[in-house]
Chain A
């Protein structure tokens, strides 16, 4: 089966840059998406097709994907960006594959 790994947590100071990695075998040959989930809320898509931002998602969110690693970058992190972030890829046999999630703390 295709598995994705993420660091459990990332801390960032307000206004600084946070990078969240997502690793999987030849992940760069697939496309990655990212979801933000705040406590008690449903996940929200923040990046799809590696680098694209849906309408309404701030420009400070960006994505990249190469080799075995996809990265979500939050440039100029704000307190409102505190949340869990899940990466996702597609596998034809297991369908949607999600990473275990990374908790971002802004302090």
Chain B
């Protein structure tokens, strides 16, 4: 069974650093991209960025470029999302999900499946 298991909830103060994790199992971790998705309280889904664990190729959505760092350790099948200085506005649930894709007539299609259980990050003084 393909699974993504995320690290537990975190409570931090503004200005602190944080790294959350996502461990994959049940498939070859190095051959699928992993996406990170933010969901702020009561809101929709926003893509933070994606990483290919095989070579750590990483892409960020423009809104998150420079705000977070995505990395991976392929030796332990784990992807990470980290902040160097948290803000209250970073409070949200963060999901990781496996990215899959294909192409038809030169048009790329992409989807996310499965998703991790989510990590709640609370930043408050």
Contact = CB atoms under 8 A, between A and B. Distances in A.
Interface of A: 1, 29-31, 33, 35, 42-45, 48-50, 54, 86, 88, 90, 93-101
Interface size of B as a range: 20 to 34
A33 B117 CA distance: 20
Interface of B: 35, 37, 44-47, 49-50, 59, 61-62, 95, 97, 101-102, 104, 107-118
9 contacts: A29-B107, A31-B104, A31-B108, A35-B45, A43-B115, A45-B111, A49-B109, A95-B59, A100-B44
B61 A95 contact: yes
B104 to A, nearest CB: 8
Contacts of B110: 31, 33, 90, 96
Contacts, number: 74
Interface of chain B: mostly helix, strand, loop or mixed: strand
A48 B113 contact: yes
A36 B113 CA distance: 12
Nearest to B37: A96
Given A48-B113, A88-B112, A98-B44, 10 more contacts: A31-B107, A31-B110, A33-B112, A42-B117, A43-B95, A43-B112, A49-B104, A90-B108, A90-B109, A96-B50
